[in-house]
């Protein structure tokens, strides 16, 4: 024990004893640095307070009911905007986007106007050395976590409080620490993307939907009851022109039975139609001495009359991580030794495959049930050895299923299907029940000194109508195309006339002014001109009325200078669009598209969302301790956790402890 720590604990204990506050000491009352409490935080992405309360009243969530009865529950103020990477960054760093610098899933490069991932940046190796077809880097590349601010478990580490942080979103690559951490949402697949599935079929068709990832369709031929194909892997930068590395496989189909043998790199397994494989390890050879290992699952959707084989995105192999997954690095291998292969990609449910009809609802749920089973096994494993400090565990299933199955809760949704609704209307409720069982497991393990928190980053609401921000900017004269006849086909601002453009939208809630000196071809002078334009656009956005519903699609257009503080204010969007309930940014707009219609029905399976104004979709905070703060926010939970150990907030943190009345 460090000297400072000893004095700290000793003083806290003496103070508590002098005050006769022994029970509080034992229970780890906030602000006391005596005996350290154990803190268990269960993060459930997208757990909605309204639905939670409804199903609690119906008695379907007994563990949450018990938790709340022993402490309290509050609606938890979410981030602006309420997107998961932003919200979890608020929680990790105890500050808003102005402090940690994550404003949206997608940022933009002001020099190219191109969208870029907000959470990570891949920095390639420097100089290379070429020998024939081979290219050897003389220095290594790296992936950089773009979130700023110290993570709360780093602060805990400074004070000697052990923490285990499993699948924390917005923590890829995991920040340096001696604590055991495993990365969550934001962890890419082996190709470095959010997740690209592969679909092998002789009934070729284009994929036309992007929803939380992507996919590739490979046209294959069944010759002599045999199919030969390959799985695309990472780009092989050791070779000239950097081709994709590939892993070949063969499928042998029985002449009569609906069954096939699949052979991949010396591994063989049999699948019946409509059956999933376990995790299959695939190696992508780069050069004779270098290969990258990944894991994926096969699903044999159909053999006859058409051949249809789905292969999940290739996850980073936790046994041989090609990219950093954990701290210490050996933690990923330890878990692999314990469980074998398990999912490592950030959001493992393949929403894109469901959106594109490659998987149907049942197949998607089968996959997600396996994900949940793996997740619960890891949760229980860590729970069983949790005996000091803090343990955080994150579940993604509720968020992903609400995105895809909300249409079955909402009869007014454009993609509501009564037949499908009959089969799937309980999926979301059942998922909440499954989450409740995880809470129950935690409560059974927790002793009376353990502070148990259940929290979500935001709630949910229907996504019935889409608002094309860029189309509106174009129609309103703030954006210009070189040839407006091309507006329906253009994407990624390919036909934008930047010399006459004043504003553009990139990402899910972000609007940027084309500012002189900041953007490559900026047109609006910073200062009064820009401020006037921002106010004008914000006012006009808030006054839009949807003729189809009579509602305002945009509840509030936030001017970033009014709502953000911190050292990353310069990279903030100029306006953050806060949508009204039922509305969200339309599909084409975030990546620079300009469809004809500004407001459109959302007829996709991706039918629930959370891009609204924060007051529309708060998250939840439930705890087995009273919560005096009446309107806590995500960043307040961070400071509250530190408070439980008698640790004050880090200097950049702007949250306040929920254990004190506001």
Partner 1 sequence: MQMINAAAVSIFDFAFRPFLKLSPWAGLAAAALLTAVFMLFIFRWTSNQAGVKAAKNRIKAHLLEMRLYKEQPAVIFRAQGRILLANLKYMGHNMRPLAVMIIPLVFILAHLNTRFGYEALETGEPFLIKVLTAETTALPSAMDLRLDVPEGVVVETPPVRIDDEREVVWRLKAGKPGKSAITVRAGSASIEKSLAAGVSPLSGIFPRKMRKSILDQFLYPGDPPLDRASPVRRVEIAYPAARMNLFGWNMHWIIPYFVLSLIFGFALKGPFKVEI
Q: Considering the complex, what minimum distance in angstroms separates the CB of residue 324 from partner 1?
A: 19
Q: Considering the complex, what minimum distance in angstroms separates the CB of residue 319 from partner 1?
A: 10
Beta carbon nearer to partner 1, 75 or 180: 180
Q: Considering the complex, what minimum distance in angstroms separates the CB of residue 329 from partner 1?
A: 13
Beta carbon nearer to partner 1, 254 or 422: 254
- Packing angle, helices 49-57 and 427-445, rounded to 10: 80
Beta carbon nearer to partner 1, 268 or 630: 268
Beta carbon nearer to partner 1, 73 or 332: 332
| Contact (Cβ atoms closer than 8 angstroms) between residue 553 and residue 541 | no
Beta carbon nearer to partner 1, 224 or 517: 224
Core vs surface per residue 234-267: b (16+ CB within 10 A) or e: bebbbeeeeeebebebebebeeeeeebebebeee
CA distance 393 to 195: 22
CA distance 133 to 148: 40
User: Residue 224 class from Cβ within 10 Å (0-12 exposed, 13-18 middle, 19+ buried)?
Assistant: exposed
Q: Which helix (H) or strand (E) holds 30?
A: none
Q: Considering the complex, what minimum distance in angstroms separates the CB of residue 337 from partner 1?
A: 8
CA distance 67 to 624: 5
Q: Which helix (H) or strand (E) holds 644?
A: helix 634-644
CA distance 278 to 301: 15
Mind spelling out the 3-state secondary structure of 264-292?
Answer: ECCEEEEEECCEECCCEEEEEEEECCEEE
- Strand-by-strand arrangement of the 308-311 sheet: 214-219, 196-201, 308-311, 298-302, 275-276
Cα torsion through 562, 563, 567, 573, rounded to 10: -90
Looking up tokens 């019935």 gives 464
CB atoms within 10 A of CB 429: 16
Q: Considering the complex, what minimum distance in angstroms separates the CB of residue 225 from partner 1?
A: 8
CA distance 368 to 348: 8
Q: Considering the complex, what minimum distance in angstroms separates the CB of residue 469 from partner 1?
A: 51
Q: Considering the complex, what minimum distance in angstroms separates the CB of residue 302 from partner 1?
A: 16
Residue 16 corresponds to which tokens in the numbers above?
């508590």
Beta carbon nearer to partner 1, 252 or 498: 252
Q: Considering the complex, what minimum distance in angstroms separates the CB of residue 156 from partner 1?
A: 28
Beta carbon nearer to partner 1, 295 or 623: 295
CA distance 42 to 36: 19
Beta carbon nearer to partner 1, 236 or 336: 336
Give the distance, in angstroms, between the CA of residue 591 and the centroid of all CA atoms in the same chain: 18
Residue 551 corresponds to which tokens in the numbers above?
């509602």
Beta carbon nearer to partner 1, 366 or 551: 366
Q: Considering the complex, what minimum distance in angstroms separates the CB of residue 288 from partner 1?
A: 20
Q: In sequence order, which residues have a C-beta less than 8 Å from that of residue 437 and are 6 or more positions away?
A: 63
Beta carbon nearer to partner 1, 257 or 520: 257
Q: Considering the complex, what minimum distance in angstroms separates the CB of residue 280 from partner 1?
A: 13
Beta carbon nearer to partner 1, 219 or 254: 254
Give the distance, in angstroms, between the CA of residue 220 and the centroid of all CA atoms in the same chain: 33
Beta carbon nearer to partner 1, 255 or 485: 255
CA distance 373 to 84: 22
3-state secondary structure at position 183 = strand
Beta carbon nearer to partner 1, 75 or 301: 301
Beta carbon nearer to partner 1, 169 or 321: 321
Q: Considering the complex, what minimum distance in angstroms separates the CB of residue 222 from partner 1?
A: 14
Q: Considering the complex, what minimum distance in angstroms separates the CB of residue 1 from partner 1?
A: 30
Q: Supply the DSSP symbol for 338.
A: H
Beta carbon nearer to partner 1, 237 or 291: 291
CA distance 405 to 305: 30
Residue 203 corresponds to which tokens in the numbers above?
């009934």
Omega before 305 within 30 of 0, i.e. cis: yes
The candidate with the shortest Cα–Cα distance to 163, out of 172, 175, 173, is: 175
Beta carbon nearer to partner 1, 256 or 651: 256
Q: How far is CA 616 from CA 49, 130, 547, in A?
A: 11, 56, 21
Q: Which helix (H) or strand (E) holds 484?
A: none
Q: Considering the complex, what minimum distance in angstroms separates the CB of residue 331 from partner 1?
A: 13
Q: In sequence order, which residues have a C-beta less than 8 Å from that of residue 497 and are 6 or more positions away?
A: 480, 481, 482
Q: Considering the complex, what minimum distance in angstroms separates the CB of residue 317 from partner 1?
A: 15
Q: Considering the complex, what minimum distance in angstroms separates the CB of residue 254 from partner 1?
A: 5
Q: Considering the complex, what minimum distance in angstroms separates the CB of residue 179 from partner 1?
A: 21
Query: Which spans of this chain sit near partner 1 (rule: CB under 8 A)?
Result: 224-226, 252-261, 268-270, 272, 333
């Amino acid at each position: 024990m460090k000297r400072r720590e000893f004095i700290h604990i000793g003083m806290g204990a003496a103070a508590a004893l002098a005050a006769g506050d022994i029970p509080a000491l034992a229970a780890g009352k906030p602000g006391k640095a005596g005996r350290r409490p154990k803190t268990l935080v269960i993060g459930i992405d997208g757990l909605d307070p309204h639905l939670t309360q409804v199903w609690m009243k119906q008695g379907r969530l007994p563990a949450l009911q018990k938790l709340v009865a022993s402490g309290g529950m509050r609606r938890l103020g979410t981030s602006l905007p309420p997107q998961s990477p932003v919200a979890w960054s608020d929680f990790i760093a105890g500050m808003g986007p102005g402090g940690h610098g994550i404003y949206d899933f997608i940022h933009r490069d002001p020099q190219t106007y191109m969208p870029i991932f907000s959470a990570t940046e891949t920095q390639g190796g420097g100089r290379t050395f070429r020998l024939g077809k081979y290219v050897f880097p003389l220095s290594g590349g790296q992936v950089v976590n773009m979130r700023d601010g110290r993570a709360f478990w780093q602060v805990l580490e400074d004070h000697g409080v052990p923490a285990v942080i499993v699948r924390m979103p917005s923590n890829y690559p995991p920040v340096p620490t001696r604590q055991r951490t495993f990365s969550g949402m934001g962890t890419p697949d082996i190709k470095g993307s959010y997740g690209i599935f592969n679909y092998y079929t002789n009934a070729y068709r284009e994929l036309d939907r992007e929803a939380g990832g992507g996919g590739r369709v490979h046209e294959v031929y069944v010759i002599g009851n045999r199919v030969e194909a390959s799985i695309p892997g990472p780009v092989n930068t050791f070779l000239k022109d950097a081709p994709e590395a590939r892993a070949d496989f063969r499928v042998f189909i029985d002449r009569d039975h609906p069954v096939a043998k699949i052979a991949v790199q010396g591994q063989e397994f049999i699948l019946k139609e409509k059956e999933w494989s376990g995790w299959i390890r695939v190696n992508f050879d780069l050069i004779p001495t270098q290969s990258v290992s990944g894991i994926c699952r096969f699903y044999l959707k159909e053999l006859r009359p058409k051949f249809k084989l789905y292969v999940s995105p290739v996850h980073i192999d936790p046994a041989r991580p090609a990219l950093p997954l954990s701290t210490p690095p050996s933690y990923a291998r330890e878990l692999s030794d314990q469980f074998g292969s398990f999912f490592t990609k950030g959001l493992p449910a393949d929403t894109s495959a469901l959106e594109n009809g490659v998987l149907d609802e049942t197949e998607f749920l089968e996959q997600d049930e396996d994900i949940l089973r793996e997740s619960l096994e890891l949760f229980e494993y860590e729970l069983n050895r949790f005996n000091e400090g803090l343990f955080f565990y994150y579940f993604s299933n509720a968020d992903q299923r609400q995105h895809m199955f909300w249409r079955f809760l909402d009869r007014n949704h454009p993609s509501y299907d009564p037949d499908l609704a009959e089969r799937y209307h309980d999926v979301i409720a059942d998922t909440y029940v499954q989450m409740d069982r995880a809470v129950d497991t935690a409560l059974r393990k927790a002793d009376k000194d353990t502070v148990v928190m259940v929290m979500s980053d935001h709630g949910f609401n229907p996504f019935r109508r889409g608002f094309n921000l860029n189309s509106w900017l174009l129609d309103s004269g703030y954006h210009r195309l070189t040839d407006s006849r091309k507006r329906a086909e253009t994407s990624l601002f390919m036909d934008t006339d930047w010399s006459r453009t004043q504003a553009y939208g990139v990402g899910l809630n972000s609007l940027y002014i084309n500012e002189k000196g900041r953007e490559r071809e900026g047109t609006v002078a910073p200062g009064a001109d820009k401020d006037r334009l921002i106010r004008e656009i914000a006012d006009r956005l808030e006054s839009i009325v949807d003729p189809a519903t009579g509602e305002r699609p945009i509840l509030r257009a936030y001017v970033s200078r009014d709502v953000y503080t911190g050292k990353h204010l310069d990279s903030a969007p100029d306006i953050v669009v806060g949508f009204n309930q039922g509305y969200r940014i339309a599909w084409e707009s975030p990546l620079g598209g300009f469809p004809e219609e500004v407001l459109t029905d959302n007829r996709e399976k991706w039918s629930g969302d959370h891009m609204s104004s924060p007051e529309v979709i708060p998250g939840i905070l439930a705890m087995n301790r009273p919560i005096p703060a009446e309107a806590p926010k995500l960043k307040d939970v961070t400071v509250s956790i530190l408070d439980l150990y008698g640790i004050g907030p880090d200097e950049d943190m702007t949250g306040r402890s929920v254990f004190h009345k506001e």
